[in-house]
Amino acid sequence: MFQSFPDIPLETFPEALKALLDRQRQTIQTLTQTAPATYDTILKPLQDLEEELEVFFVPLSHRNSVTNSPETRAAYEASLPLLSAFHSELTRNSALYEAIRLIKAGTPQAQTVVEHMVRDFRLSGAELSEADKQRIEAIDLRLSELGNAFSQNLLDATDSYEMILDDPADIAELPPAELEAATIEKEGKTYYRFTLQMPSYIAYMTYGSNRARREELYRAHTTRAPKNGEIIDEILQLRAEKARLLGFGNYATFALQTRDAEDEASVLNFLESLLESARPQAQTELETLRTFARKHDGIELASHDTAYYSEKLKKATFDFDESQTRPYFEQKRVLSGLLEIVTELFGIDFAPADVPTWDAAVQVYDLHENGSLCGRIYFDLEAREGKRGGAWMHDWETHFVDTKGKQHLPSAFVVANFAPATDTTPSLLRHDDVVTLFHEMGHAIHHLFGRATERAVSGINGVAWDVIEFPSQFLENFAYEAPVLSRFAFHYRTGEAIPETLITRIKAAKNFQAALGILRQVEFALFDFRLHQNLYRGDEVQTLLDTIREKTALLPPPAYNRFQHGFAHIFSGGYAAGYYSYKWAEVLSADAFFACLDPEEGFERSKAIGYRRHILSRGGSAPMHRLFHRWLGRSPDIKSLIRLYDIPERRDG
């Protein structure tokens, strides 16, 4: 059965965590003295302890992200050193390492667990001198603190900014829903408030009529958290030092030890190839946008103009803009439709669950397969103060069988920051938001559909970082298809079904400026990967980014832009030297999508069931490229990615 989301006693949480960790230390010491050392006497109990710790700590970590307050922050920050010290002790435990290194596993899953454990011990410094082990421990502790500080600085900077407008001309082009969300009354006068929270920021950058105000908002967004510059320097220095201590030439090589990509050259060749494939079309797309801005308003395009004029150009080209879609995508109906589609594709049923949550807006569902309970999912989808920006999936419980033969069931959280409901309007989504929801649901079912019996390779556990985005990107592709959208897209007031012409325009506009989007993602990925191939400090970080932008940024951003200060993915989110994985995994996701959806026939349910059985249910129990080959009988085809974006294939010679 599932854990109930707890009402955490924040003041005493660090003490309770310390007591739990001390008990686990004693258990681990006993395990290392057990003879003979076998998989069942060592690694099965260790995985039980991992689940116990995860179940205990995740609620605090989660609340610190979704209901951030001085109290959650204090409890979380006090807990990080305790966890870091515990994990460092575990990876320095020579007796435990020697025992695991000699274990002969009896099943393929167990063998993968042993291999991963031995690898992870080595990457944590198990074979280093005692002095170097202690240094690794200090580095890991400091990196944990710095990552949290980076994230907190970004959250504080985002929450502290607001732009108040009082001229109706400045907001004349905002769609009704965005305008309603921005409107505030103060002392009998109407004002319009915009913040750096994504729904608000995107709304004004896309529809804000006042160019100077757009630049003001853009500057605030791209210069957030300047204190993160010093944090970046220290993070990079510590990562480089850790890699050297472990015998690697740089942090990128160290990071690739747990990924599917073979080596640094493979990653860079992939990114450069993608850049060269997309660049010619991207140049055409940008020139078209520049010409449109000149003809429309007589201006030379700048970075703070791109979203505004892109929306106008898209509307002129396709008679389409995102505001047209919002009345048809009521959040609750979209979520219901998504669950129906997952049910049809994969044979899973969802039922509402009345259980404790952290906020009244959270919706919870239990998963059933053939009438049997098999998982639980929490949806927290609306923006609010004190909630970290963006969207993500966070796993909580994991499917596995413990030492007593008890089967544990998985649970997960899906979090987003969609426009909240108002007194007169329900939460309405842009089509981009619908895609985001499908994306995060793809992550969630990867974890929830896990059926491995060994916790360390069940769900998303043990899955290489550079393919972790495969299932999420796979599912988001369905959010553009007419058979999918027609199931839940109904006008929130009239109940009218979304017009077929609008669905056609959504799909036609899907790849609008797709090549420019690819260049932007390649820019982030190249910056991240090259940043971790050498040690860069201070202005060198910006110089590296500027050098990469000479190829990727066809419209150079202003000199004040400090994108890196907000690059949470790599400085506080676990994607260091791994941002390339979004595109790397997209090759698999595009190929898988075309296997499961025939443009003429609709869902290929047998292929979808095979995808669930061979990919999702297996988790990290085997390398993803091997699982993919077992499913389709071949390797993924990079041409599927080009096809997905409707980019003409490059012809050499």
* Catalytic status, residue 385: no
312 C-beta neighbours (distance < 10 Å), count: 19
Q: Are 466 and 260 in contact (CB under 8 A)?
A: yes
Handedness of CA 566, 570, 571, 573 (dihedral sign): positive
| b/e 131-170 (16+ beta carbons within 10 angstroms → b) | eebebbbebbbebbbbbbbbbbbbbebbbebebebeeeeb
Query: What one-character-per-residue DSSP string does 339-369 give?
Result: HHHHHHHH--EEEE-----SSTT-EEEEEEE
Which residues, other chains included, contact 571 with Cβ-Cβ below 8 Å and sequence gap of 6+? 146, 147, 150, 228, 231, 232, 235, 564
CA 126-121-148 angle, 5° bins: 100
Tally of CA atoms within 13 A in the half-sphere of 537 that contains its CB: 6
Separation between Cα atoms, residue 638 and residue 643, nearest integer Å = 9
200 conformational bin, left if phi > 0, alpha if psi -120 to 50, beta if neither: alpha
Catalytic hit among 285, 440, 476, 481: 440
Query: What one-character-per-residue DSSP string does 543-572 give?
Result: HHHHHHHHHH-SSPPPTT--GGGG-HHHHT
Separation between Cα atoms, residue 246 and residue 133, nearest integer Å = 10
Handedness of CA 436, 438, 439, 445 (dihedral sign): positive
Place of tokens 């985005």: 469
Which residues, other chains included, contact 66 with Cβ-Cβ below 8 Å and sequence gap of 6+? 358, 359, 380, 386, 387, 388, 415
Separation between Cα atoms, residue 267 and residue 580, nearest integer Å = 7
Does residue 9 sit in helix, strand or coil?
Answer: coil
Give the end-to-end CA distance of the chain in Å, rounded to a whole number: 62
Query: Of 622, 632, 621, 620, which Cα lies nearest the Cα of 588?
Result: 632
Q: Are 518 and 653 in contact (CB under 8 A)?
A: no
Which residues are catalytic, by number? 440
